[in-house]
Structure 1
Amino acid sequence: MEKNVDPAALAQAQTTLLLVQGMGCPVCAMRVYDSLLRLEGVLTVEVALAPGLARVRYDPTQVSPDVFPAAVAAASDDAHHYSARILA
């Protein structure tokens, strides 16, 4: 999944770093990536499988980072396999 991102929106974006647990393979990382990127107001997502991190750049007028952990949990088939907490 990809989004066309307006450079002006990206310049105003805020960034949140998530610690993601439960990702065991590249497919898991892609599910987390897609789930976060589907959120309205999320502009870009980078997922690093080995350290279990996700960096989310978002428009704070459209989405709150408080919803990111739930989006990560929803990426799992059973909604309990993945979990995330906000680091920064």
Structure 2
Amino acid sequence: MNETCHVEPIHKMVTVEEQPATALIRLGVQGLGCPNCAARVRNGLLALNGVTEAEVDHLTGLAAVEFNPNLVAVPALIQAVAQAGNDGRHRYRAFDLSGALA
């Protein structure tokens, strides 16, 4: 793990609007090199309004995201993963493994 790659995981307080989270999507994520990469992607997903939980495993390249589909759509989740690597050093790519509607 690279010391210059440190990422603090965020802790999200779920709003009343977000609480009726009824969908779970599984994403394949490419580009995860270490636990900090997973934390960076997790933080990017949790920053979205409508995402209530996100778990990202850098070893398997899998993410499980619980979300309210009335507030956030699958393409926005995939885009958030890509944008998590916006520092010029990291590049992430996600794809839907669950068959959820995009």
- Decide which structure has greater helix share: 1
Among the aligned pairs, what percent are the same residue? Answer: 40
Counterparts of 1:24 and 1:63 in 2: how far apart (Å)? 27
2:27 equivalent among 18, 34, 38: 18
Normalised by the length of structure 2, the TM-score is 0.76
The superposition leaves residues 2-40 of structure 1 with CA deviations (integer Å, 9 ceiling, x where unpaired) of: 122369925x42101000000001111110000000000
Counterparts of 2:94 and 2:13 in 1: how far apart (Å)? 26
1:69 to partner: Cα distance? 1.4
Q: 1:79 to 1:40 in 2, by over 3 A?
A: farther
| Structure number with larger C-alpha Rg | 2
Counterparts of 1:16 and 1:78 in 2: how far apart (Å)? 27
Q: Which amino acid aligns with 1:31?
A: R
Bigger RCO of structures 1 and 2 (CA < 8 A, at least 6 apart): 1
Ranges in structure 2 where 5+ consecutive residues have no aligned partner: 1-9
Normalised by the length of structure 1, the TM-score is 0.87
Q: What's 1:33 paired with?
A: 42
2:54 equivalent among 38, 45, 49: 45
Total equivalences in the alignment:
87
Q: What's 2:88 paired with?
A: 78
1:49 to partner: Cα distance? 1.1
Q: 1:56 to 1:79 in 2, by over 3 A?
A: farther
Q: 1:74 to 1:6 in 2, by over 3 A?
A: closer
Ranges in structure 1 where 5+ consecutive residues have no aligned partner: none
